[in-house]
Chain A
Amino acid sequence: MLSNDFDGVKIGLEIHCQLTALNTKMFCNCSSDYRGKPPNTLLCTVCTGLPGALPVLNKRALEAAIKIGLALNCKISNNSNFFRKNYFYPDSPKNYQITQYDKAGGEAIANNGTVETNLGSVRITRIQMEEDPGKLQYEGSITTSSNTLIDYNRAGISLVEIVTEPDIVSPKHAREFLNTIQSIVETIGECDSKLDGSMRADANVSISDGRRVEIKNISSFKEVERALNFEITRQKTIQAASKMETRHWDDVRRVTVTLRVKEDEEGYRYFPDPDLPPMNISENYIDEFRQSLPELPDKRLKRFTKEIKLSEEIARILIRNKIVADYFEETLTHEYNPKLLSGWIATDIMGYLNRNNVEFSDLPIESKALASLAKSVSDSKINDSTAKAILLKSLSSGTTIGDLLKSELDNLVSFDDLPKIIDTVISDNPKALEDAKNDSQAIHFLIGQVMKVTKGRANHSKVKELIETKLK
């Protein structure tokens, strides 16, 4: 699709982030570490909604939501409250979800934020806290299974839902925005996005004159871009959506399919949850979190470009993932060569990992080893291209940089032997020496001769340096 194919496209996102740094669920003391646990083992009276059990807010959930709100430049509410969203569904033990609401006296924990991306800024409508439902499991396919199994381990896990204004202008922008959000919540340390299902997005999209269509069930951020591309093409083909509906992203067939004609939000009979009094959040309390926020990606970007003097392009690639940026800064503590190291990480290493579908966190090269490779270049022991070759060989073969570097250096003619070899080459080519004194380009003949004699095992820049002293 050409970029102007996205004229008139408006995309809004709803991103659910599980607060994975919390040890317990949102309203009870059950462990929130539910992944890989036997079904229905992390339950109590509260998260199974037994009669008479009451929810009590986990303070850590509130703290995490405030931090995320501040990081997305939101206004934190001083009088936020919880609402009930009523609907019958077997994954919800109470048949209502404790959530937040923006009407009827409801106030979400954070409102009116903005997030800058390199494809334009996106306004955050609100950030609301809510509980995750349980999980329905079918034997085989949803349509043929005779049983539905329910696992309530996930029921009551803390979520924040980040709701944007329809400011996103293209599927690529959506992906960029999601990466930014991901990087921010990871920097704050409240959501580990690598955990399966910890970050999920629903998208709503409309094109000029069309109705708003919501797409649910998008399992990864890569899929968001795909699903949006499909949906925009679909809407253009049918001359804009004629009905407001919710569609389901089928990531196997890569199409959106009708799920249901959209139920109005009002169908959920929202009302304030009497079990949870409004939260009185003082400005002082909010300030404590404001002071203790870690360096956020946009600030880090500025530091990388202004202080470390990286190009904006490289810096953006690095800050997009906290682990990558941290790794880069760690290499600098061993060898301060930002240009070389940032280039290797952003281009060579990330390119390799992407092609081979490997997570950066699984990178087998320690920051110290990469720094030592850069130091060999700084010390002129090897040149740039040799270093890059060693790096790529280490990535593909698994041999450590240390071993590869050692054998490369072992193979080189030692610096002590070089002057003798150069003297021999010069005495064999007296005319070339005279030429080089008059024409700076002619030095390359002599370098070439030295490389020929050493069968390419000499350090190119050292050879050049030594010959230059002979020219004076």
Chain B
Amino acid sequence: MSQLSSQFEEIKEKNQTINAYITFSDLSDNTSNGKLSGKTIAIKDTISTAGLRTTCASKMLENYIPPFDAHVVSLLKNQGATILGKANCDEFAMGSSTEHSAFGVTRNPHDLERVPGGSSGGSAAAVAGNLADLALGSDTGGSIRCPASFCGIVGLKPTYGLVSRYGLIAYGNSLEQIGPMAKNVHDCALLLECISDYDNRDATCVNTKKIKYTEHLDDDISNMKIAVPKEFFGTGTDPKVEETVRNTIDKLASEGAIVEEINIESIKYSLAAYYIIAMSEASSNLARFDGLRYGLHTGKSKDWNELFSNNRKSGFGFEVKRRIMLGTFALSSGYFDEYYIKAQKVRSIITNDFKKIFDKFDAIVGPTMPTLPFKLGEKLTNPLSMYMSDIDTVSANLAGIPSISVPCGYSDNLPIGIQIMSSHFEEKTLLNLGSKIEQIRGFDVE
């Protein structure tokens, strides 16, 4: 038995507790030589893998095997990565705790009674629990950064258009990006280097100059201008989280960064705008799952209307149904102007406000999550409080700007993440600052 195979057996064993994976690959040897040779990776189950079951953590796609690789998956294979399997997540990426999976909850490796965050909770738990070296997640409103924060790892949501969405099963397609998750900033930068590649199969993908992010990790941060919005420490922010994040910001200041507290008034509307836009898009994106061509099929019905209805009723989980219905409502005649159009206006205002800030500042810093990882089941019956946990992350998705979460401390043995945002295509700044935080925070992630 090769070293990899025995390691794979250990991972499968550990997965029985963590449940980070929905499906394991057949561990086919990757003979390509590249930047990721020898690295193992978990891929969120919303990302298509040719010949490897891709479920979106939904009963609807329980037996769906894509005939093609997402662009990012082809890139990983070309760079020699070993794909271990498909990581658990909230069904169709709708959730902040990975509790909404048809394949069971994923547990936080730091405390098995707590959630790993979501929706890319399986990806984060795999990395944090040593079930993979690296992971891919997708982030529509915080789905990479939230679990990165809760599991004490690094997660980056790229600028909208930096990474191809071809093969990513859409939830809110104007908001989401695939992004890297890793134990440290260097590996996160390396993975981003590998997946940020122009792809003409995604019309929203931008053809930009390739950047070697790993070469900018030690750039000088002195005189870097950092804005700290008051709104990121609003009501509902755990004082322990606030204290740890503020301490880290102080350390950045003592490294020469120029820190200034600011206000972004429009941020208070971001959560409402985000949920309206994401759910509206989801109601249309998920319409294709009718069980006719692929996916769950409930058997013969008296007509296609009943067939679609039966298939969707049985295939989708509760939270997915809720979001489809809310989204359908928001797009409906008579409500469209009140909800969807208004949310788009808010989105423009927020985007402009960020633009103005980045005319003066290099980065915005605050907590990734307002709280520590919560207990399994704690927020399951209260969707609003679950939605509230995305309060600090969604604005980056609305504005299309990049954002990273980096571990900055612990409280009650639970990890706390600091979030950094920068201007479009300025991932370099995030990784540079993230790397500095790793050096000054006073601990290593094992």
Interface residues of A (CB under 8 A from B): 45, 48-57, 84, 86, 88-90, 93-96, 104, 148, 150, 264, 266-267, 269-271, 274-277
Contact = CB atoms under 8 A, between A and B. Distances in A.
A52 B168 contact: yes
Interface residues of B, number: 45
B203 A56 contact: yes
B443 interface: no
Contact of B281 (A54, A95, A270, A274): A274
A88 B48 contact: no
Contact of A94 (B165, B287, B328, B334): B287
Interface string B133-168: 000000000000000000000000000000001111
A274 B331 contact: no
B64 interface: yes
Interface of A is mostly: loop
A54 B166 contact: yes
Interface stretch (B10-18, B257-265, B288-296, B428-436): B288-296
A51 B336 CA distance: 26
B180 to A, nearest CB: 19
28 contacts: A45-B67, A48-B293, A50-B294, A51-B56, A52-B47, A52-B165, A52-B166, A52-B168, A53-B167, A54-B165, A55-B203, A56-B200, A56-B201, A90-B292, A94-B287, A95-B290, A96-B287, A104-B341, A148-B304, A266-B334, A266-B336, A267-B333, A269-B284, A270-B331, A271-B281, A271-B340, A274-B173, A275-B173
Contacts of B332: 266, 269
A150 B290 CA distance: 14
Given A94-B288, A271-B280, A51 B64 contact: yes
A52 B305 CA distance: 24
A133 B241 CA distance: 53
A52 B331 contact: no
Nearest to A45: B68
Chain B contact residues: helix, strand, loop or mixed: loop
A336 B334 CA distance: 66
Given A93-B293, A94-B287, A274-B281, A52 B169 contact: yes
Contacts of A264: 333
Given A95-B287, A96-B284, A264-B333, A57 B68 contact: no
B204 A275 contact: yes
B229 interface: no
A54 B304 CA distance: 26
A113 B331 CA distance: 31
Contacts of B200: 56
A129 to B, nearest CB: 14
Contacts of A45: 67-68
Contacts of B48: 51-52
Contact of B66 (A50, A94, A274): A50
A49 B281 contact: no
Q: Ordered nearest first, which 10 A-B pairs have the shortest CB separation?
A: A266-B333, A274-B174, A95-B287, A269-B331, A51-B169, A52-B167, A52-B48, A274-B173, A94-B288, A49-B288
B203 A104 contact: no
Contacts of B331: 86, 269-271
Contacts of B56: 51
A52 B170 contact: yes
Contact of A271 (B68, B284, B304): B284
Contact of B203 (A52, A54, A89, A266): A54
Contacts of B290: 88, 90, 95
B61 interface: yes
Interface of B: 47-48, 54, 56, 61, 64, 66-68, 70, 165-170, 173-174, 200-204, 280-281, 283-284, 287-290, 292-294, 304-305, 308, 328, 331-334, 336, 340-341
A77 to B, nearest CB: 18
A277 B207 CA distance: 14
A51 B170 CA distance: 7
Contact of A93 (B202, B284, B288, B333): B288
Given A49-B293, A54-B165, A264-B333, 16 more contacts: A49-B288, A50-B67, A50-B294, A51-B56, A51-B64, A86-B284, A86-B331, A88-B308, A90-B292, A93-B288, A93-B293, A266-B333, A270-B331, A271-B280, A271-B281, A275-B203
A324 to B, nearest CB: 42
Contacts of B203: 54-57, 275-277
Contacts of B168: 52
Nearest to B174: A274
Contact of A52 (B70, B283, B287, B292): B70
Contact of B201 (A54, A84, A90, A267): A54
B61 A51 contact: yes
A14 B289 CA distance: 31
Contacts of A270: 331
A267 B331 CA distance: 9
Contacts of A88: 287, 290, 305, 308
A401 to B, nearest CB: 55
Nearest to A87: B287
Contacts of B67: 45, 50
B140 to A, nearest CB: 11
B17 to A, nearest CB: 30
A275 B283 CA distance: 15
A339 B304 CA distance: 61
Contacts of A267: 333
A218 B204 CA distance: 38
Nearest to B48: A52
A239 B26 CA distance: 73
B416 to A, nearest CB: 33
A276 B328 CA distance: 21
Given A269-B328, A276-B203, A51 B66 contact: yes
B102 to A, nearest CB: 15
A299 B21 CA distance: 68
Contacts of A93: 288, 293
A48 to B, nearest CB: 6
Contacts of A48: 293
B136 to A, nearest CB: 13
A266 B331 CA distance: 9
Nearest to A84: B284
Contacts of A51: 48, 54, 56, 61, 64, 66, 169-170, 288-289
Contacts of B280: 271
Contacts of A148: 304
A134 to B, nearest CB: 11
Given A54-B166, A86-B331, A104 B336 contact: yes
A54 B202 contact: yes
A229 B195 CA distance: 62
Contacts of A57: 203
A243 to B, nearest CB: 19
A274 B341 contact: no
Nearest to B206: A277
Given A88-B305, A90-B292, A52 B66 contact: yes
A222 B363 CA distance: 67
A261 to B, nearest CB: 16
A57 B203 CA distance: 8
A45 B288 CA distance: 13
Contacts of A86: 283-284, 287, 331
A267 B334 CA distance: 10
A89 B170 CA distance: 20
Nearest to A57: B203
A271 B200 CA distance: 24
B158 to A, nearest CB: 17
Contacts of B47: 52
A27 to B, nearest CB: 9
A280 B200 CA distance: 17
B231 to A, nearest CB: 26
